[in-house]
Amino acid sequence: MHNVEFKAELRDYDLARSICSAIGATEAEVLEQTDTYYKVPSGRLKKREQTGEDTEFIFYDRANKAEARLSHYVIYDEPTARQRFATDTLPVLVVVRKQRLLFLTGNVRLHLDRVDGLGDYLEIEAVVSRAHNVRDCHEKVHELKSKLQPALGEMLSVSYSDMLLSENEIDVEGLDPVSSPNDDAESPSQ
């Protein structure tokens, strides 16, 4: 599966929420999410846990660019992820906890995220499908980004996990493949 996504700091959460409503996006729900990131040879693998939903593992790959970018992802259930990635033996990189206010408009998900230890962010995800090709998704993301611009700060090129790893000065390359950074001491992000 693919989506076109964009991420930026939110300077004004309430203004962003008002703009989402004003442009006709439907406020769908508030999600409490915990994403546990694992060290894998390429791409990114996270276990997503949220109240009222089954645990899922999301493997994705995308470029780190401060602009709208194409993301390739696959969602696995827990047994399949264990079999495919041997998740029980993978080192944990970092845990990201967030509250996500979800708005929907057409094939686009607008996320107003409050990330523990980092702050407020906007994420726009346009889902690529037969009805919405990559170019259409880029155009929709650009249009929504323009409408939300008054509430935005800096564009982000990296994931929340990368930001937390950087803040905690964790050397991903130096991780022992059978241990995690949380084995000896509790991580500040937990």
* Nearest CA-CA partner of 29 in 91, 78, 96, 102: 102
- The tens-digit pLDDT sequence of the chain (190 residues) is 999 999 999 999 999 999 999 999 999 999 999 999 999 999 999 999 998 899 999 999 999 999 999 999 999 999 999 999 999 899 999 999 999 999 999 999 999 999 999 999 999 999 999 999 999 999 999 999 999 999 999 999 999 999 999 988 765 554 443 333 343 333 333 3
Using CB atoms within 10 Å of the CB of residue 122, give its burial: 0 to 12 exposed, 13 to 18 middle, 19+ buried.
buried
3-state secondary structure string across 42-73 = CCEEEEEEECCCCCEEEEEEECCCCCCEEEEE
pTM, full prediction: 0.86
Domains belonging to the chain, first-starting first, are: 2-167 (2.40.320.10)
